[in-house]
């Protein structure tokens, strides 16, 4: 038995549902968890829970003219600081296009990106599921790996079987460290030309490029033929059932990602949007779509303290690679596949107020057994979709 703990749930004033990830450890294969008058059940096959919110009294007393003036000055200062911060943020080649299209711009991984447009978050989410949406992902790191030893080089960094890929086939993979932790998730495509094409996360761009450069130096010193090119091209993702060429690994719908010279991306975007089934979508629906599809967000749901097995990403590890154990952290990761880890990511669906990131989950005796790792609105009315980490005996 466990509960969520008083005052551990943050309130959404609009009463919207949310998608969230939860880390949770327990001691039974099917347990009933209670939280302040409501309960949820947890099992390996299906997990649901409801949460309550404790809201304190609201102060309605007029603070007086002096306090009001001070608050006005503070608000003005915040707006000025926000404007200055926006200037410092990096901008994609579609930045002005987003603003002209009604995009609400926010900071994300050092970039100014659209969180949504004129449509509501849920409307955009559902349009992607039913039709097709266009996402600007130009902030992500794009890399080409050249040379006759490019496959060997890439397999020294990631868990995937790159050699097994067919021409123009891509796969989700993971950079891992020697301790078995996930340094980043990425897509590797084996092109029919003279290079591998790699796309990794914007938030890890500096770390990823440094990691690849360090390995490149090792390979060159050993006489291998390999080289890197970091691109500054634009990148757009077109996702939804109207696009069926390749599996999408970020949004949970079929689609394609198109790398295009920055000077041509506005033209291409406008042509794609001329189809009435294609609409612009931002970070908000991108996040809820990936959570609904059971996909991880680096930095929230996976990081360098999480192994692929704990993250339920064993499928990214090539079968041959499990045998050869020649990727970073293999001696820790591979045994976990056979011997159940102490924690593992799972999926939950809940009702009630949104469950926010870092919300603690407590047992009835007050023991912390996990926490929420990410949360956002969900497409089903009055429902929340969650992921979590559970203890060994629940797996």
25-45 pLDDT, tens digit each: 433 333 333 333 333 333 333
320 in a domain, yes or no? no
**DSSP label of 352:** S
Please report the pLDDT score of residue 343 as a whole number: 86
189 in a domain, yes or no? yes
Please report the pLDDT score of residue 159 as a whole number: 99
Contact status, residue 114 vs residue 205, Cβ threshold 8 Å: no
Residue identified by tokens 């926490």 is 371
Contact status, residue 384 vs residue 352, Cβ threshold 8 Å: yes
Please report the pLDDT score of residue 80 as a whole number: 53
Please report the pLDDT score of residue 131 as a whole number: 95
Please report the pLDDT score of residue 82 as a whole number: 56
- DSSP characters over 106-124: EEETTEEEEEE-SS-HHHH
**DSSP label of 18:** -
Please report the pLDDT score of residue 37 as a whole number: 33
Please report the pLDDT score of residue 22 as a whole number: 41
**Number of structural domains in the chain:** 1
315 in a domain, yes or no? no
Q: In this structure, what CATH number is given to the domain that contains residue 224?
A: 3.30.70.1400
Q: What confidence tens digit (pLDDT) does each residue in 275-304 have?
A: 999 999 999 999 999 988 889 999 999 999
Domain housing 200: 141-230
179 in a domain, yes or no? yes
260 in a domain, yes or no? no
What tokens were used for 23?
A: 């880390």
What tokens were used for 180?
A: 């078995």
CB-hemisphere CA count at 13 Å for 66? 0
Which contacts (CB < 8 Å, 24+ apart) does range 81-88 have?
A: 86/112
Phi/psi for 150 (5° steps) reads -65, -35
174 in a domain, yes or no? yes
97 in a domain, yes or no? no
Question: Which regions in the chain score pLDDT beneath 70?
Answer: 1-87, 244-253, 348-350, 376-395
199 in a domain, yes or no? yes
Q: For the purposes of burial, counting CB atoms within 10 Å of the CB of 173, is it exposed (0-12), middle (13-18) or buried (19 or more)?
A: buried
Pairing verdict, β 195-200 and 182-190: antiparallel
């Amino acid at each position: 038995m466990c509960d969520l703990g008083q005052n551990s749930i943050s309130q959404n004033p609009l009463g919207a549902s949310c998608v969230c990830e939860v880390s949770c450890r327990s001691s039974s294969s099917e347990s009933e968890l209670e939280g302040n008058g409501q309960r949820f059940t947890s099992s390996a096959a299906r997990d649901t829970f409801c949460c309550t919110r404790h809201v304190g009294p609201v102060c309605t007393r007029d603070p007086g003219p002096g306090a009001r003036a001070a608050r006005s000055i503070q608000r003005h200062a915040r707006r000025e600081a926000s404007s200055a911060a926006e200037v410092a943020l990096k901008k994609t080649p579609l930045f002005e296009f987003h603003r002209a299209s009604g995009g609400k711009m926010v900071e994300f991984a050092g970039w100014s990106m659209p969180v949504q447009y004129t449509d509501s978050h849920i409307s955009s989410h559902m349009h992607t599921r039913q039709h097709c949406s266009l996402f600007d992902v130009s902030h992500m790191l794009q890399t080409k790996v050249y040379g006759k030893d490019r496959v060997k080089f890439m397999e020294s960094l990631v868990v995937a079987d790159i050699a097994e890929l067919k021409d123009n086939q891509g796969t989700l993979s993971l950079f891992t460290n020697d301790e078995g932790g996930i340094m980043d998730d990425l897509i590797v495509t084996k092109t029919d030309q003279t290079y591998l094409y790699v796309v990794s996360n914007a938030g890890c761009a500096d770390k990823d490029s440094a990691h690849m450069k360090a390995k490149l130096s090792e390979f060159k010193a050993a006489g291998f033929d390999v080289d890197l090119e970091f691109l500054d091209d634009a990148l757009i993702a077109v996702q939804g059932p109207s696009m069926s060429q390749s599996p999408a690994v970020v949004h949970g719908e079929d689609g394609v990602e198109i790398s295009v010279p920055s000077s041509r991306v506005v033209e291409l975007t406008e042509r794609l949007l001329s189809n009435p089934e294609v609409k612009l979508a931002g970070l908000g629906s991108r996040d809820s779509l990936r959570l609904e599809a059971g996909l991880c967000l680096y930095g929230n749901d996976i990081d360098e303290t999480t192994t692929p097995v704990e993250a339920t990403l064993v499928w990214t590890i090539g079968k041959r690679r499990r045998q050869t154990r020649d990727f970073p952290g293999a001696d820790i990761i591979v045994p976990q596949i056979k011997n159940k880890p102490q924690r593992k990511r799972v999926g939950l669906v809940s009702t009630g107020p949104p469950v926010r990131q870092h919300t603690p989950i407590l047992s009835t005796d007050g023991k912390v057994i996990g926490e929420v790792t990410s949360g956002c609105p969900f497409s089903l009315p009055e429902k929340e979709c969650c992921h979590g980490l559970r203890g060994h005996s629940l797996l």
